[in-house]
Amino acid sequence: MQPVATSLSTATPRKNRLWKNILSHRYLYLMLVPCLVFFFIFSYIPLVGLLMAFKDYKFNAGILGSPWVGLKYFHAFFESYEAKQLIRNTLVISSIKLFVYLPFPIILALMFNELRNKWFKNLSQSIMYLPHFLSWVVVMGLTQRILAPDTGLLNQIIAKLGGDGSIFYLMEANYFYQIMFGSFVWKSIGWDSIIYMAAIAGVSQELYEAAKIDGATKLREVWHITLPSIAPTVVILFILSLGSILSAGFDQIYMLRTPGNMHLADILDTYIIKVGLQQGQYGYATAVGMMQGIIGLVLVILANRISKKVSDTSLW
DSSP secondary-structure letter at 49? G
Task: Provide mean pLDDT across the span 44-50.
Answer: 90
Q: State whether 80 and 151 are in the same domain.
A: yes
Residue 54 and residue 290: Cα distance in Å, rounded?
11
Give yes or no for a contact between 267 and 217, defined as CB atoms under 8 angstroms apart. Answer: no
What is the tens place of the pLDDT at every residue in 125-162? 999 999 999 999 999 999 999 999 888 899 999 999 88
Residue type, 290: M
Residue type, 246: L
Per-position DSSP letters for 151-211, written without gaps between them:
TSHHHHHHHHTTS-----GGG-GGGHHHHHHHHHHHHHHHHHHHHHHHHHHTS-HHHHHHH
Q: What is the mean pLDDT of the chain?
A: 88
Residues in the chain: 316
CB-based contacts of 54, cutoff 8 Å, min separation 6: 68, 69, 70, 71, 73, 283, 287
Q: Is residue 196 part of a domain?
A: yes
Q: Is residue 39 part of a domain?
A: yes
Q: State whether 82 and 184 are in the same domain.
A: yes
Q: Is residue 316 part of a domain?
A: no
Q: Is residue 2 part of a domain?
A: yes
Residue type, 81: Y
How much is the pLDDT for 93? Answer: 94
C-alpha triplet 300, 303, 307: angle, nearest 5°? 135
Q: What domain range includes position 93?
A: 72-311
Answer positive or negative: Cα dihedral of 110, 115, 119, 123: negative
Q: Quick one: how far is CA 285 from the chain centroid?
A: 21
Q: Is residue 82 part of a domain?
A: yes
Helix 103-114, helix 176-201: angle, nearest 10: 50
What is the tens place of the pLDDT at every residue in 240-261? 888 888 888 889 999 999 999 9
How much is the pLDDT for 278? Answer: 87
Cα atoms in the Cβ-side hemisphere of radius 13 Å centred on 284: 19
Task: List beta partners, residue 55.
Answer: 68
Q: Quick one: how far is CA 146 from the chain centroid?
A: 26
How much is the pLDDT for 146? Answer: 92
Instruction: Count how many domains the chain has.
Output: 2
What is the tens place of the pLDDT at every residue in 70-94? 999 999 999 998 899 999 999 999 9
Say what percent of the chain tops pLDDT 90: 50
Give yes or no for a contact between 248 and 93, defined as CB atoms under 8 angstroms apart. Answer: yes
Q: State whether 276 and 245 are in the same domain.
A: yes
Task: Provide mean pLDDT across the span 4-29.
Answer: 73
Q: State whether 65 and 76 are in the same domain.
A: no
Q: State whether 272 and 246 are in the same domain.
A: yes
Q: State whether 199 and 62 are in the same domain.
A: no
Question: Other CB atoms closer than 10 Å to residue 255's CB: what's the count?
Answer: 18
CB-based contacts of 81, cutoff 8 Å, min separation 6: none
Cα→Cα distances 249→51, 135, 181, 203, Å: 24, 13, 12, 33
Q: State whether 109 and 63 are in the same domain.
A: no
Domain boundary among 70, 86, 108: 70
What CATH number does the domain containing 286 carry?
1.10.3720.10
End-to-end CA distance of the chain: 35
Give yes or no for a contact between 52 and 67, defined as CB atoms under 8 angstroms apart. Answer: no
Residue 248 and residue 273: Cα distance in Å, rounded?
13
Task: List beta partners, residue 58.
Answer: 62
Domain boundary among 70, 85, 120: 70
